Structure 1
Amino acid sequence: MRVDPKAAPVARRVHKRGLIKKAHFVSPNKCPGVIQCESRLEASGAIVMGLDPRVVLLRPQPVTFDLDTGRIYASREAMDKECAAPARRRNIYTPDFEAHFTNKKAFVEFKHSALIKMRPKTLELPSVLRRFGYRLIIVDETYLPEVFVQNMRLLSPLLNASLADADRERIACASRQPVQIRMLLEDELTHHSILSLIAQGRLVCDLMGSRLSGGTRVVWSEEVPRHLMHLPFDEMEILDA
């Protein structure tokens, strides 16, 4: 469902089930406006993809597939207008996202392993779409542990933050060797500057093992920021640092 006029049109609606509100609203990087997701896992995946340097653009709920024919539609409503068969008789699928990389793109589905176990045919979707010439990547919760997600949610608003050249140089000089964040703060550098450089890939640290804190050790790097790249996009082109 499109909830922000700045957001791209979407191909499916997000509904509520009973008294439980399913919808999660997020504003990830590389995706205009506020988007609506069906689960926290999907919302977390959007935030993590927005910080992944391999991803250059995100589209939520981009198209609807007719899995029997391979045809794609801008929405289920568009499919209803063109198809005579009732919706309940059609084999349709709308992926969570379309992720654009430097020279490639792929559809991405975030699905909890418990739901995959309940619906094992979910694992057949990549091969079905491959027959029609499309790439689908299924991501479960093992790629998005809670600590990592909390850290990425903290960093997400800072990806495009501006830093003074003087602050950047001071942090670079102070972190040529691994150093705790609290030591940089004692040198009168700011949380904002330090976290911004982690989000932008210049300061590297372990985002999986523990929450970001004063005791987190960071080090300056000009290499590819692999601490931001934990999603299974290994075959996609990696951007140069």
Structure 2
Amino acid sequence: MKTDRHSLAFTRDVAKRTRRAGRAYVICSPKNGMVEIRVESRIEQAVVHALELDPRVVSYRAQPFTFNLTTGEVLQVKPKIKPKNAVYYTPDFVCSVHDVPIAIEVKHQDFVKENKVLFAKANTVAADNGLRFVLVTSADLPDQLQHNLRLLNQYAAQCRAQIPAWAKAVQGIALQSHAGTAAEVLKDLEPVNHHLAAGLLTGQIAVDLRKQALQDPLCVIAPAWGSLNALEVLCYD
């Protein structure tokens, strides 16, 4: 895969790994100025989708830097020759949330249990360098949530020009409505799924993205009163 002058810097190129169980993914990031974001698993892809939609996240990068767990350094560029006894660790992402830099590691829940010591060391190095270290596991991103995040990112990218008009139509209805199914509340708007996505992306309506399927006309929606809290699906504490 190629990078260009607009691609974000990284210390570990997941696209060049030769030993992998699956393929690498390359995602275009509107939040970062339409640059490439490279990830190596579906759960990392889901984290990208969450970061793109999260109104708290200003920007983010994948494979941003490498911790030297032996010396406690944060390496923006790894040396060509690895020093003797050096133990390297590269977080999957770094993001800025309310000007707080957060290093994010994404792993399956079982892997986290088996590597508590490793993550404890990474957390210490991060804290010593002014970073918060957060683990996101497969348990944090259930399948239904991943599907909804992927769908909303598609709408956000592909229907950017149409979303304001759809959202305006939803606003007039949502302000006069109580919680109900999408089919009931948005019955006068067609297509319902397009208006549902636009209303959610602009804070007109709220949906529990972990439990409700956005493509289901019976999913329960409620007025959001301008809040985008429904899109804040990751915990950075």
TM interval, shorter chain, is 0.7 to 0.9
Contact 1:2 / 1:35 at 8 angstroms: preserved in 2? Answer: no
Shift of 1:153: 0.4
- Is there any run of 5+ residues in structure 1 with no aligned partner, and where? 235-241
From 62, 65, 90, the equivalent of 1:63 is: 65
TM-score (norm 2): 0.83
Contact 1:29 / 1:50 at 8 angstroms: preserved in 2? Answer: yes
Q: Secondary structure of the residue that 1:106 maps to in structure 2? A: strand
Q: Sequence identity of aligned pairs in percent?
A: 25
Shift of 1:205: 1.0
Q: Which residue of 2 aligns with 1:239?
A: none
The aligned amino acid for 1:6 is H
- Is there any run of 5+ residues in structure 2 with no aligned partner, and where? none
TM-score (norm 1): 0.82
Structure 1 residue runs of 4 or more that deviate by more than 6 Å after TM superposition: none
Deviation sequence 1:156-206 (CA, Å, 0-9, x none): 133362447664343122223223222355413333232122123332011
Instruction: State how 1:69-148 maps to structure 2 within 5 Å.
Output: 69-76=71-78, 79-80=79-80, 85-86=83-84, 89-124=85-120, 125-148=122-145
Q: Which residue of 2 aligns with 1:172?
A: 171
Alignment CA distance shift 1:111-1:166 (3 Å): closer
Instruction: State how 1:1-241 maps to structure 2 within 5 Å.
Output: 3=3, 6-14=6-14, 15-17=17-19, 20-31=21-32, 32-76=34-78, 79-80=79-80, 85-86=83-84, 89-124=85-120, 125-159=122-156, 161-163=160-162, 167-175=166-174, 176-183=177-184, 186-190=187-191, 191-212=193-214, 213-234=216-237
Q: Which residue of 2 aligns with 1:238?
A: none
Structure 1 stretch 170-179 or stretch 104-113: which is displaced more? 170-179
Alpha-carbon separation, structure 2, partners of 1:7 and 1:192: 31
Alpha-carbon separation, structure 1, partners of 2:171 and 2:189: 14
